Structure formats: structure tokens, C-alpha cells
């Protein structure tokens, strides 16, 4: 599988790159970013996957996430894919809404027309892109973890719960933890997967836990000044589900913080250190 280099920049002794490739999963070109910290020749490094939120591309966290210093110090590769397929022939929301269609793939493989042909972000982030990254970058496939923000927090937690033997750690900033129960998720899951709510459960963190999924432990930060906290994020549902299932959860409610990258960048270092501890050896 070939990739095209869009740009590279030296940062903290490592290389921040942006790359493009033709995706078989989505049927479109896809762009992603990779930070490779300084490392010994021939060394394989652990990798942290970061899934972004609604309206975002790879660029939001790459430009505003402030992860490179910690990744350089900890020896972590950091990969940020896009949030949906893009292109002139890719269908979006009929009303150009921000919460469905372009920029809002919700990390599912759509089954409903006209979205099923391109919106296959689950296959993209769990299968195609990991194989591509492993082919071109010094990744230790035995040491992977996943994190995300908002819609990407939903993606990260569901990816981890469905693949507990692949990912050693999972964390999230302001995740949508129960999409089946909130407006963002109901709209997206109906549009991509259809009206049968049983088909949604594999893409709902709380439902997965209720259905028996396990993970070694989760770290979640939310801001108590987040405008989406009560209606869309509902962290108390995750707290209750984890408690009932005996899944260790560190849920931190950060006073004064909102939904933005000011919040994410403030606690990014904490999350990366938490991941690094679990990616050792």
C-alpha cells in the first residue's frame, strides 16, 4: 500500500508528517497525520491512535492538541485519522448539518444508502489504516492504545471495548458514551445503521458494557462548563455502567473547562503519560 507525503516538519526532535492514500475501505483518498518521536534506528515504538470529533479532520489535534512534547519524551507514535470520507461524490447531509455526513462519520460501517459505499470508518480505523501505518512507520503492533474526543471519544471507547486484546489503554475527552440515548447519536446511528436499535449496540459504549464487554480500565475527562455535557455526553451513564460491570474507570470532572481544544490540550499530557505506563514492555 502506497502513501503520498503531504508535508513533514521537525518537532521536538521527531517528525510530524501529514500523508494521503487511496482508501479501499472508503473508496476515497484519505488524509492522516503521524508524529514519530526521535528513536534508535531499528527500534519499534508503541502507538497511540487519536480519533477526532464532529466537524474535525486530522488537522485539529495535529495543530492544537499539544501532544508532541509528551510523545517525544515518552517515545510514543501518535496517529490522527480523519473523521469521515470526503470528496465531490461522497454524500453528506441534505441540509449540510454539522452532526451528520461529512466530518461526522461516527466510526461505524454504514449499512444504509446512500452512505454504505463510503462511510466505512470502522473498517478504516480498525483495519485498513493500522495495516498501512505498520507498513510505513516503526510501529510495535503489540503496544497500541486509543483515545479520542467527543464523537472520537465514542469511537475510541467502542474500538477498545470490542478489541480488548489489541489495545492496552483507552481514554477519552468529553466522549459521547451512550449515543443510542442522545440526539447526536440517535441521528447518526439511524442515518448510518437504520432504525433498528439492536443494530446500534455494537457502537454504544454503555450498551457494549451492559452486553458484557470488558476492558482493563478507562480514563475519561469532561469539563463541567461543557455546553454539551448534560444533553449529549451523559458521563454519569458511563460511570454507572462501569460500576455495575466492575470496569475500573477514572472519571474526572474538570472545573471551568469546556468542549474545546483548550480543554484537550490542557490534559493531553496527563492522558499520554497514563497511556505510556500501560504501553511499557
Residues designated catalytic: 150, 226, 259
Q: Which long-range contacts (CB under 8 A, 24 or more apart) does 134-141 make?
A: 135/1, 136/3, 136/19, 137/34, 137/36, 137/47, 137/77, 138/36, 138/39, 138/43, 138/44, 138/45, 138/77, 139/44, 139/45, 139/47, 139/77, 140/44, 140/45, 140/46, 140/47
Check if the beta carbon of residue 54 is closer than 8 Å to that of residue 84: no
Check if the beta carbon of residue 60 is closer than 8 Å to that of residue 173: no
Amino acid at each position: 500500500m502506497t502513501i503520498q507525503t503531504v508535508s513533514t516538519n521537525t518537532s521536538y526532535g521527531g517528525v510530524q508528517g501529514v500523508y494521503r492514500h487511496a482508501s479501499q475501505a472508503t473508496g476515497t483518498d484519505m488524509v492522516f497525520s503521524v508524529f514519530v518521536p526521535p528513536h534508535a534506528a531499528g527500534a519499534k515504538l508503541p502507538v497511540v491512535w487519536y480519533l477526532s470529533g464532529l466537524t474535525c479532520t486530522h488537522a485539529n489535534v495535529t495543530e492544537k492538541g499539544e501532544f508532541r512534547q509528551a510523545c517525544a519524551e515518552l517515545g510514543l507514535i501518535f496517529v490522527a485519522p480523519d473523521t469521515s470520507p470526503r470528496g465531490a461524490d461522497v454524500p453528506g447531509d441534505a441540509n449540510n448539518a454539522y452532526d451528520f455526513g461529512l466530518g461526522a462519520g461516527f466510526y461505524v460501517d454504514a449499512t444504509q444508502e446512500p452512505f454504505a459505499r463510503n462511510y466505512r470508518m470502522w473498517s478504516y480505523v480498525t483495519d485498513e489504516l493500522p495495516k498501512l501505518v505498520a507498513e510505513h512507520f516503526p510501529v510495535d503492533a503489540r503496544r497500541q492504545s486509543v483515545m479520542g474526543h467527543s464523537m472520537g471519544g465514542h469511537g475510541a471507547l467502542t474500538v477498545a471495548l470490542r478489541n480488548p486484546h489489541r489495545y492496552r489503554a483507552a481514554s477519552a475527552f468529553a466522549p459521547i458514551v451512550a449515543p443510542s440515548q442522545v440526539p447526536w447519536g440517535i441521528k447518526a446511528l439511524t442515518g448510518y445503521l437504520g432504525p433498528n436499535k439492536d443494530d446500534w449496540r455494537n457502537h454504544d459504549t454503555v450498551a457494549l458494557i451492559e452486553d458484557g464487554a470488558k476492558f482493563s480500565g478507562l480514563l475519561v475527562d469532561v469539563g463541567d462548563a461543557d455546553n454539551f455535557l448534560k444533553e449529549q455526553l451523559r458521563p454519569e451513564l458511563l460511570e454507572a455502567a462501569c460500576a455495575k460491570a466492575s470496569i475500573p474507570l477514572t472519571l474526572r470532572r474538570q472545573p471551568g473547562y469546556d468542549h474545546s481544544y483548550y480543554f484537550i490540550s490542557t490534559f493531553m499530557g496527563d492522558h499520554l503519560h497514563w497511556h505510556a505506563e500501560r504501553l511499557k514492555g
